[in-house]
Amino acid sequence: MIEALILGGLGFSFGVVLVYLARKFEVKVDERLEKIVELLPGKNCGTCGFANCEEMASASLKDPTYLERCRVLEPDNRRKIEEILGVSLQDISKKIAIVACTFQTENKFKYVGVQTCAAAVLVSSGFKKCKYACLGLGDCVRVCPFDAISISEGEVKIDKNKCVGCGLCVQTCPKNVINLVNAGAYVFVSCSSRDDAKTVVGVCKNGCIGCGLCAKACPVGAIKIENNLAIIDYSICTGCGKCAEVCPRKVIFKLRTS
Amino acid sequence: MENLLAIAVGMILVNNIVLTRFLGLCSFFGVSRRIRDALGMGIAVTFVMTCSAAITWFVYEYLLVPAGIQYMRIVVFILVIASFVQMVEVIVRKKAPSLYRAMGIYLPLITTNCAILGVVLINTEVERYSFVASTVSGFSAGIGYALAILLMAGIKERLEIAEIPESFRESPIGFIIAALLAMVFMGFGGMV
């Protein structure tokens, strides 16, 4: 009897104190917060600059323009959040990540150290003959929150359908060999080498030598040669694909036809 | 005074709550991935352990002993610890949101941490410490826990880049390390 009384009494008094504290120290939570968090991707990739999606949601309650930073948000969910917040936001163009390398260079030595790109790049700036080449040890694979990147036989492949363009791999890659391009891009220069033609030919079967044939062939002048590398201005490119046809090194790829 | 020092050293090193008494092992393995997380967990456990050691001493000496129902101690202590953690959570959430976010999931997790209950039981039932000794014992047990989990986290961070045979990755190597650490702490045996 006495044990039941003591236990019950203790439980009751703790309960009363807890209720009192909960009232006194109540934290008001905006009910819209939970809805927004549900609509956000929930991958906590951090490319918006906030630690996770919840932080982002609470910030967007104060200033909805923060939502524009989320590159992962589905258009449908985006519209729903706009409705909840009663605002309309600028559209942002979807981007995808592509590896600007054709993996045609050879190893200059056998690397047996820690198997990450970040570690490998410290040894003689990588073990590939081309110093701009992808090392293929998969730092990008590990950092991708969307499982969009895979490696087969040393070649990094990014799944266009899974990639949302968050850009984490771009930040992570120590070789800066991954580029973010508009999802609507027609052609892509699959090389990052800024070496001169002689060096590139010596180390790679494909690599861009900066010959400028593509720039001459382009009817709208969208291609420039900068530092021995062809750069495509996607705001001008019409997607005719002439550059891909004339390229003697076969390093310009058609992503899709116009 | 000397007695208190002996209790503190005993709880931190000789009878380390994790590595000698094998209490609180779940969080010891679970939250020791990064040193930062381990430090947060260590601080949270130290805080809760100190306070619950103090509170349960009063409950034990002034409620359970006079009523002669010491056998109810486990249920009562769990009630006390759980309520206390809940109170702390409510207050911290309002008064220090940044601390609340830093502690995150660890605070509620502590409720079911057997290390806390273990220390409280040792303080009251096994040793019958005085109030001050009980609090010191709770605090040093918390420090011992923090020490153990920090050691573990430091080693685990190194393991991330070590080449471990496939079948030993993740948990198995963790158990082996815990065993080695426990053997190291056996070296302190007989000091106090």
B158 CB within 8 Å of a chain A CB:
no
Q: How many CB pairs under 8 A join A and B?
A: 45
Q: Return all residues near B81 (Cβ < 8 A) that are at least 6 apart.
A: B48, B52, B56, B111, B116, B117, B120
Average pLDDT, chain A: 87
> Considering only CB atoms, which chain A residues are within 8 Å of B95?
25
pLDDT of residue A174: 93
CB contact (8 A) between residue A7 and residue B72: yes
Q: Is residue A105 within 8 Å of A133, Cβ to Cβ?
A: yes
- Report angle CA A157, A158, A161 to the nearest 5 degrees: 135
B164 touches chain A (CB under 8 A): no
**Residue B146's pLDDT is what?**
93
Is the minimum CB–CB distance between B94 and chain A shorter than 8 Å? yes
**What's the rounded Cα separation, in Å, for the pair B172 and A31?**
44
pTM: 0.62
Mean pLDDT for all residues in chain B:
86
Residues B90, A18: C-beta atoms closer than 8 Å = yes
> Quick one: which of A168, A178, A134 has its CA closest to A153?
A134
Q: What pLDDT does B103 receive?
A: 67
Write down how long chain A is: 258
Q: pLDDT at position B2, please? A: 59
Say whether pLDDT at B189 is over 80.
yes
DSSP string, chain B: -HHHHHHHHIIIIIT-TTTTT--SHHHHHHT-SSHHHHHHHHHHHHHHHHHHHHHHHHHIIIIIHHHT-GGGHHHHHHHHHHHHHHHHHHHHHHH-HHHHHHHTTHHHHHHT-HHHHHHHHIIIIIS---HHHHHHHHHHHHHHHHHHHHHHHHHHHHHTTS---GGGTTHHHHHHHHHHHHHHHHTTTT--
Residue B1, pLDDT > 60, answer no
Could you read off the pLDDT of A160-179 as tens digits, one per residue? 888 888 888 998 999 999 99
Phi, psi of A254 (to 5 degrees): -85, 120
Distance from CA of B75 to the nearest CA of A (A): 8
Task: Kindly list the residues from chain A whose CB atom is less than 8 angstroms away from the CB atom of residue B97.
Answer: 27
Comparing CB atoms, the residue among A3, A11, A27 nearest residue B93 is: A27
Q: What is the pLDDT of residue A230?
A: 92
The CA distance from A61 to the nearest CA of chain B, in Å, is 18
Say whether pLDDT at A29 is over 80: no
CA pseudo-torsion sign A137, A139, A143, A144: negative
Per-residue pLDDT of A49-100, as tens digits, reads: 888 888 888 888 888 888 878 878 877 888 888 888 887 777 677 788 999 9
Select the residue from B65, B90, B101 to test the A interface by mutation, using most A Cβ atoms within 10 A: B90
Inspect the interface and report whether the beta carbons of A21 and B80 lie closer than 8 Å: no
> What are the tens digits of pLDDT across the range B89-122?
888 888 777 777 766 677 777 777 888 999 999 9
pLDDT score of B50 more than 80: yes
Rg of chain B taking only CA atoms, in angstroms = 17
